[in-house]
Amino acid sequence: MRVLVLGGDGFCGWPTSLYLSDRGHDVTIIDNLSRRKIDVELEVGSLTPIRPTSERLHAWREVSGRDIGFISLDLATEYDRLVTVLTELRPEAIIHFAEQRAAPYSMRNTHAKRYTVDNNVRATHNLLTALVATGVDASLVHLGTMGVYGYGWSGSAPIPEGYLTVKVPTPDGEIEREILHPANPGSVYHMTKTLDQLMFAFYAKNDGLRITDLHQGIVWGTQTDQTIRDERLINRFDYDGDYGTVLNRFLMQAAIGHPLTVHGTGGQTRAFIHIRDTVRCIEIAVTNPPENGDRVRVLNQMTECHRLLDLAKMIADTMGAEIAYLPNPRREAEENELIVRNDQFLALGLNPTTLSEGLLEEGKEVAARYKDRADVTKIVARSVWRAGMETSEDLLKELPAS
């Protein structure tokens, strides 16, 4: 299959591109390398040494004998070039990872809020209009987020896959309707994903575009069977306060002797998925597209839910780390329940990788191997959700660090 991977230089997009190439698909990446540029802006880098894009692609050709194409293009601003690429390549499937994806970065300041909205909303809308304008009948798989549902809104009710059945009172009695699950974003970034959902619903209804929206949980882990084949293929590992996600951060913090940075009580429960399952889920979604005229297919792409404090305690116990309970820089519920339906992926053959299966070892090993590259001044989360909120810096100064 001819597959276009938008955002294919990123943490999820790179291993997905290699996986699909390895499985025989003809892969072309589009990326404007904005994520690498944000590293420069934040004066931080991936814990793992990621190579320049051309070197990565060359290494893949050497180890696999397969070519992956690369086009440097900004989806949010280069609409005409996007139209040309779609017309020339005529992809059968498009996977859309190309958005600013960090919630803390999106709350950092006014510039970052505006950039996140401008970049994400325009990128998605440009793609949808370009598909209509070119008549390219590719199925579109978008990486959305569990965060569109919010946390704790429906108490202990399981989160359904995208749609909720509701009863609407009418003068003639109640009627049943299926609606998009109410959106309850917790950051400007998450808000852009809820806007994406509406655009998808409209273009599926109006133009018959074939769209799958994957509501993905927090991705953890680093390597896949493909990225591990050569050090030049290594995946990125974000650990800083803006881009690092919680489980990888805890692993890295334990590896360098930094206290585990639990926000608030640690009673937040979140959905997780390992990067190896991310790439498998995406192939499943790409090979099972909806039909023209179908509503947007929504699948919850996660394998397990954990309370953050349980994760912190498990890592602290096995790696001998301390736990620091820090003022929460975010506006979020201190505690929530979370039960998530993921029946569709299980029915389509996903065999979930779970925390208990030794993959923590891989995370520990990667974090320990590259710990000398860590800048400890970048670990504490500094982006606060509202001006005046307390940050953790003073508190952490009193705690032992590496």
Q: Does 97 bind ligand NAD (CB under 6 A)?
A: yes
Nearer to ligand NAD by Cβ, of 193 and 396: the residue is 193
Range list of H helices, 210-274: 246-256
Task: Compose the 214-233 pattern: x for residues touching ligand USQ by CB under 6 A, - for all others.
Answer: ---xx---------------
Q: Does 121 bind ligand NAD (CB under 6 A)?
A: no
**Tokens at residue 96, please?**
């859309």
Give the list of residues 6+ apart from residue 395 with CB closer than 8 angstroms, or none: 324, 326, 327
- Report in angstroms how near the CB of residue 143 gets to ligand USQ at its nearest: 8
Single-letter residue type at 237: F
Q: Does 332 bind ligand USQ (CB under 6 A)?
A: yes
Q: Does 268 bind ligand USQ (CB under 6 A)?
A: yes
- Per the rule left: phi > 0, alpha: psi between -120 and 50, beta: everything else, 155 is left
Q: Does 27 bind ligand USQ (CB under 6 A)?
A: no
Distance CA 164, CA 144 (A): 17
Q: Does 307 bind ligand USQ (CB under 6 A)?
A: no
Task: Compose the 377-396 pattern: x for residues touching ligand USQ by CB under 6 A, - for all others.
Answer: ----x---------------
**Tokens at residue 387, please?**
């001006």
3-state SS, residue 39: helix
Single-letter residue type at 352: P
Q: Does 249 bind ligand USQ (CB under 6 A)?
A: yes
Give the list of residues 6+ apart from residue 290 with CB closer than 8 angstroms, or none: 139, 204, 210, 211, 212, 296, 297
The question of whether 193 is a catalytic residue gets the answer yes
- Rounded to 5 degrees, what angle do the CA atoms 21, 26, 30 make? 90
- Report in angstroms how near the CB of residue 66 gets to ligand NAD at its nearest: 20
Sort 348 into a burial class: Cβ within 10 Å, 0-12 / 13-18 / 19+: middle
Region near ligand NAD per CB under 6 A, out of 93-101, 201-209, 281-289, 350-358: 93-101
Q: Does 101 bind ligand NAD (CB under 6 A)?
A: yes
Tell me which of 16, 28, 145, 224 is the catalytic residue. Answer: 145
- Report in angstroms how near the CB of residue 294 gets to ligand USQ at its nearest: 25
The question of whether 189 is a catalytic residue gets the answer yes
Task: Provide the annotated active-site residues.
Answer: 145, 189, 193
Give the residues lining the site for ligand USQ (CB under 6 A).
Answer: 101-103, 145-147, 217-218, 245-246, 249, 261-263, 268, 270-271, 308, 328, 330, 332, 381
